[in-house]
Chains A and B, each alone.
Chain A
Amino acid sequence: MGSRFDRRVLPWLLLTPALLVVFGLVVYPVGRTVWLSFRSAGLPYLASGQSRFVGLDNYRRLLTDAHLREVFVTTAVFGFACVAATMAVGLAVALLLNQPFRGRGLLGVLVLLPWAVPRVAAGVVWRWMFDDRYGLVNWALSHLGHDFTGFSWFNARLPAFIAVGVVVVWQSFPFIALSLLAGLQSIPPEVREAARMDGAGPLQMLRHVTLPMLRPLLLTLIVVSTIWDFKIFDQVYVMTGGGPYRSTELAAVTVWREAFARLHLGSAAALAVALFAVLLVMTIGYGRLAREEMAIR
């Protein structure tokens, strides 16, 4: 036991398969995308590999093209709005499920269902629910008082984003709720009891006990949600296709349109790299925050 081979070589040998997978599926494609972002490449590139070095031209376009700039702002605003809504709904559902009541187990399972629905399928179903003439949403809203008959959700940017946002939040809150529920259940009952003895009401309990104790978990979930919600593609592609007049295009949809519709592969790659860089910076920022948090404890 404990030979030099075992200590020096064996670990690497055991890691090799995993490293190969990571390299093949992550490092190489990302490297290739970065390489492509400095080149001008169209359909001929796909057929025969022709492309031309253009330096920073593709990146310059990101800054000068008004539509692309707008897409970045839209993606950020919509992404953060979805993160905020998802966290709020997820937390509310987790707090609810943390209460003892009859049917809690069943509700816990039901809450998971939206998460299990494939995103494209959800988009198609919800597009019908938001249909201007035959949709369930307009029918329900009209019954609640305000007349929504014939209201067209996909005619302008804001209502279209509300419709898409509902689907995004509906599909992503279960994961958040479940994770937070696990977090809530790990809070020692003594802490709550002590707070209650000191006369804390439910809101004070939430603000001064529950949320602070969930903070590291909340930060992680925010990072994960942010990454998800900045890359939203399926729901937008299915529900609006980026329209009307490209006003609901998010960055991932624009990458797809640049690459597969306009066949500007280089500029699509530059856009993808820029989005990647933004996400990376945010992730590192959150990571820092989370570590400082732990250091304080």
Chain B
Amino acid sequence: MRRRRPRRSPFLALVVALGLLPGCGALTPSAGARSARGPLQVWIMEPGSAELRAFFTSATTEFESAHPGDRVSVQFVPWASAHDQFVTAIGGGQMPDVAEMGSTWTAEFADIGALEPVDLFHLTGPEPIGSRIYLPSLVDAATVGGKAYGVPWYAGARALIYRADVLSALGLAVPATWNDLLTAGRAIRDRTPMAPFGVAGDAEHYVLPMVWQNGGEIAVRQDGVWRSGMSTPQAVAAVQFYADLFRTEHFAPAGALSWNARDVRQAFAAGDLAMMIGGAWDLKAILAAHPDLAGKVGTALLPAGPAGDRSSFAGGSHLVVFSGTKKEAVARRYIEFLADPARVAAFTSRIGFLPAIRGDDPVGDARPDTLYGPFAEQLEEHSRTYPPTREWGGFEADGLFTAAVQQVMAGRQTAGQAMKGVAKAMDEAFSG
């Protein structure tokens, strides 16, 4: 045999380069051929709570023994990557049968026909209408063209979580207004080694409600078309106020420019932060990891802005059925099982959410005198939802708001400049 010296061929390099083309190859529509056999595929959002997995382990066992022959496979998806994962799954025709979906995304996916309509009031079969009360904002968020595409499951609103021991040692009252927040924050900054307040750059649910608190609107609907309100004076001033808490007041460490809500929670749990915006689920996780903080923390409604508004974002989730499922009957039974008011109440109080489905009895955790009472009051009395448009999920996934707020926090742009860009991007998206 003749031996040849190996030659690097340009063809080989070409094949290598082709194989290394970034992204995008798999974006091909698919018929969504999913099997009628095998367990029901369920995606549940993961808020970073160990309790959640424990709940589902026992719930799955309970469901499977109550319905012989039905099998369920639950996968946990972190909130931060969930929107991408839904998009990828739809692109690849690999959607789950049932999923929990963030309430701001349901409209977007329903709009392209990825979800089955669910009849909210007949879901429970023969039970009479009105035996259940759904949180209206979550019904609105699930409704596209007069049809509901998601069963409201739970809700939650962020409120103020603070170190009661620190505030009382300094003789400070719990901040009830933006001005109080400034006063208390300056005292904590100057008189303790702690950072006063979790001003995070990558946390839109912290900054956007401040637009409402300042009397502004994130978007308004005129003649059937949504228009951004982010470049109005109220919104610009709210963003500037938030950014200045970081930039000029130094209420948080320099690294907070790239913190998200989870980093804030960690800093609070580590004893480095005196006040933070957070949900009951944050507080439960903090106290579970640091029992020594019990008795040292307090909760209150978010401080009111100059307009006297104390609104927080009413977050929540829906249970949805993806279209094209071949296990509709099991899916229906499973959603009925999860959405049973007693089970929802047990689940939500364990994790730190509030039920979006109520039976006739009021829920124990919602009593105003408890540590968790303010979260219920915040949700019921002082919360709003973002515009229920199909574009919203994209704004969140794109980091449209957070990237702009970071520019202001870093002092690279004024709030006016940054919000002008945000408003333009929103209006372009709204107009298609």
Q: Which residues of A contact B (CB under 8 A)?
A: 22, 25-27, 29-30, 32-33, 36, 43-49, 131-133, 150-152, 154-156, 220, 223, 227, 231, 233, 240-246, 251-252, 255-257, 259-263, 265, 268-269, 272-273, 275-276, 279-280, 283-284, 286-287, 290-291
Contact = CB atoms under 8 A, between A and B. Distances in A.
B19 A26 contact: yes
Contacts of A240: 258
A132 B15 contact: no
Interface in B7-25: 8, 10, 13-25
B20 A261 contact: no
A263 B403 CA distance: 18
B114 A251 contact: no
Contacts of A32: 25, 27-28
B108 interface: yes
Contacts of A291: 8
Given A43-B87, A154-B255, A155-B254, A36 B8 contact: no
Contacts of A44: 112
B255 A261 contact: no
Contact of B258 (A43, A244, A276): A244
Given A46-B91, A245-B403, A245-B410, A152 B27 contact: no
A132 B91 CA distance: 38
Given A132-B253, A252-B22, 8 more contacts: A46-B112, A152-B254, A154-B258, A244-B257, A244-B403, A262-B394, A279-B20, A284-B10
B253 A133 contact: yes
A227 B20 contact: yes
B257 A152 contact: yes
A242 B202 CA distance: 12
Contact of A243 (B20, B108, B398, B406): B406
Contact of B254 (A26, A131, A150, A280): A150
Nearest to B254: A152
Contacts, number: 163
A242 B397 CA distance: 13
21 contacts: A43-B112, A48-B112, A133-B253, A133-B255, A152-B253, A227-B16, A227-B20, A240-B258, A243-B201, A243-B403, A251-B22, A259-B27, A261-B84, A261-B399, A262-B394, A263-B87, A269-B24, A276-B17, A276-B21, A286-B13, A291-B8
B29 A231 contact: no
A220 B6 CA distance: 14
Interface residues of B, number: 49
B113 interface: yes
A22 B404 CA distance: 43
Contacts of A150: 253-255
Given A132-B253, A150-B255, A263 B23 contact: no
A228 to B, nearest CB: 8
| Dominant secondary structure of chain B at its interface with chain A | helix
A154 B87 CA distance: 28
Contacts of A241: 202, 399
Contact of A156 (B17, B23, B404, B410): B410
B84 A260 contact: yes
Q: Closest 6 A-B residue pairs measured CB to CB?
A: A29-B25, A132-B255, A261-B397, A152-B255, A49-B29, A255-B23
| Dominant secondary structure of chain A at its interface with chain B | helix
A29 B327 CA distance: 31
B329 to A, nearest CB: 24
A287 B18 CA distance: 15
Nearest to B10: A287
Contacts of A279: 17, 20
Q: Which of A45, A47, A280 has the most CB of B within 10 A?
A: A47
Nearest to B409: A244
Contacts of B91: 46
Contact of B399 (A27, A47, A243): A243
B90 interface: yes
A29 B22 CA distance: 11
B17 A227 contact: yes
Contact of A268 (B17, B23, B272, B403): B23
Given A243-B399, A244-B201, A260-B84, A36 B24 contact: yes
Nearest to B418: A245
B136 to A, nearest CB: 27
